[in-house]
Amino acid sequence: MVSGCVLEPSLLSLVKQVPGGKVTTYGALARALGDPIAARWVGKVLSENYRSDVPCHRVIMSDLSLGGYNKGVDEKVKKLKEEGIDVAAGRVNEKIFEDFVTSYPLRRYAETQLKLAQKVVLEGDLKVGRVAGIDVSYREGGKGVCSIFDLSDGSLIEELTIVKRPKFPYIPTYLSFREGGFIIELVKMMSKEERKDCILLIDGNGYMHPRKCGLASHVGVVLDMPTIGVAKSRLCGKSGEKGEIYINQELVGFAIGGNRYVSPGHRVSAYGSRRFVRRLLEAGIDPLRRAHRTSRP
DNA sequence: GCGACAG
DNA sequence: ATCTTGTCGC
């Protein structure tokens, strides 16, 4: 219950649909939520669930092995056998129940991303005077930090902080629904004048996203500000010979320095975003590292 | 079988 | 992101 409040009721009600004497898989539940990529989150939630009205013991792995259970796997096997399910050598011999009644809630979020993606502008002159790095860290809730630097002299102008509980779980490709609210609130704490002339560096992807709408693009469009995504690992795409990242032959971003992935968020091009981040680092300005450090305890 | 899977 | 969970593709 600590993580995703938003999708959790949907997930638990899906688990309740699995009849006694039948089993389903984490992946099948994720598909019923609207996206198989949520399978890992499904497993995490169910392994932590203690509600006796939710039959988590009927959820197993796609290879028919047992998976986890909060009271131990032995208890899971016992409950399954009591329901007449054939369990032998740590495997369940039963057809997978997948006949869920569902509204596929995750699809609505994906559709939101597709709509926002149509508003993304992949060009801009980046005539800005300030740069803000924004990062969110978690420990008993989330802490978002926005570190604003003056580009004329590289000095730290201001640092803003916000602490709140994220309402959306972490599911790959849906990060913007977890962290977008932190970023938007932080930017709204900036003065109008400060905001006007500022580009945002976001810890995550922009255009380098399966639906062309990662966190940086999402908040860029919502705030109508130039944004660049800088991620520490690759979510999707294929690497070219000079660090380019492609999705279906389309350039979506770059790997830089071997351990950073840069992609345009909004109102900047792919090459423009790489140039901007490179020049910042050459000038010794690292807003994201600063935001990351102050967000950590 | 081993690793990847934004944070 | 932390303490571990599933699935798919190489």
Distance in Å from C8's C1' to A149's CA comes to: 42
A158-168 pLDDT, tens digit per residue, is: 999 999 999 99
pLDDT band at A33 (very low <50, low <70, confident <90, very high): very high
- Look at strands A130-138 and A198-203 and give their pairing: parallel
Distance, Å, A138 CA → B7 C1': 9
Report the predicted TM-score, pTM, of the whole model to 2 decimal places.
0.94
Surface-to-core class of residue A110, CB atoms within 10 Å of its CB (0-12 exposed, 13-18 middle, 19+ buried): middle
Strand C reaches within 7 A of the A47 CB: yes
Report the b/e string of A177-206 with b at 16+ CB within 10 A.
bbbbbbbeebbeebeeebbeebbbbbbbbb
pLDDT of residue A1 exceeding 50, the answer is no
Q: What would the pLDDT profile of A63-92 be if each residue is shown by its tens digit?
A: 898 888 888 888 899 999 999 999 988 889
CA–C1' span, A192 to B3, in Å? 46
Classified by CATH at the fold level, domain A8-103 comes out as Arc Repressor Mutant, subunit A (1.10.10)
Instruction: Categorise residue A133: left if φ over 0, alpha if ψ from -120 to 50, beta otherwise.
Output: beta
Per-residue pLDDT at A116: 97
- Please name the nucleotide lying closest to A230, CA to C1': B6
Contact residues for A230 (Cβ-Cβ < 8 A; gap 6+):
A201, A202, A203, A204, A260, A261, A262, A277, A288
Spatial CB neighbours of A238, under 8 Å, sequence gap ≥ 6 = A245, A246, A247
Nearest to A114 by CA among A182, A187, A35: A35
| Residue A2: pLDDT over 60 | no
Strand A87-88 with A91-92, pairing: antiparallel
In angstroms, the CA of A100 and the C1' of C8 are apart by 22
Which of A 74-133 have CB under 7 A of nucleic chain C? none
CA to C1' distance (Å), from A73 to B7? 30
For A236-291, what is each residue's pLDDT tens digit? Answer: 998 888 899 999 889 999 999 878 999 999 999 999 999 999 999 999 999 999 99
Other C-beta atoms lying within 10 Å of the C-beta of residue A234? 14
Three-state helix/strand/coil letters over A244-283: EEEECCEEEEEEECCCEEEEEEECCCHHHHHHHHHHHHHC
Query: Domain residue spans in chain A?
Result: 8-103, 116-295
Establish whether domains A8-103 and A116-295 are of one fold.
no
Could you identify the residue whose CA is nearest to the C1' atom of nucleotide C4? A44
Cα–Cα distance for residue pair A297/A286, rounded to 1 Å = 19
Please give the structure tokens belonging to residue A184: 């938007």
Is A28 within 7 A of strand C by CB distance? yes
Nearest to A157 by CA among A217, A101, A197: A197
The reply to whether A140 has its C-beta less than 7 Å from any atom of strand C is: no
Radius of gyration of chain A, Cα coordinates, nearest whole angstrom: 22
Nearest nt (C1') to A60 (CA)?
A: C6
Query: What token pair was written down for A119?
Result: 């508003």
Check whether residue A44 has its CB closer than 7 Å to nucleic acid strand C: yes
What topology does CATH give the domain A116-295?
archaeoglobus fulgidus dsm 4304 fold (3.30.2170)
* Mean pLDDT value of segment A187-207: 96
For strand C, the positions having any atom within 7 A of a protein Cβ are 1-2, 4-8
For position A52, what pLDDT does the model report?
A: 85
Which residues of A does the annotation mark as catalytic?
56
Say how far A241 CA is from C9 C1', in Å: 22
Can you tell me which residue has its alpha carbon closest to the C1' of nucleotide C3? A44
Nearest to A136 by CA among A107, A175, A100: A175
pLDDT 10s digits, A122-142: 999 888 999 999 999 988 889
Tell me which nucleotides of strand B come within 7 A of a protein CB.
Answer: 4-7
Residues in chain A: 297
Buried b (16+ CB within 10 A) or exposed e, A141-162: ebbbbbbbbebeeeeebeebeb
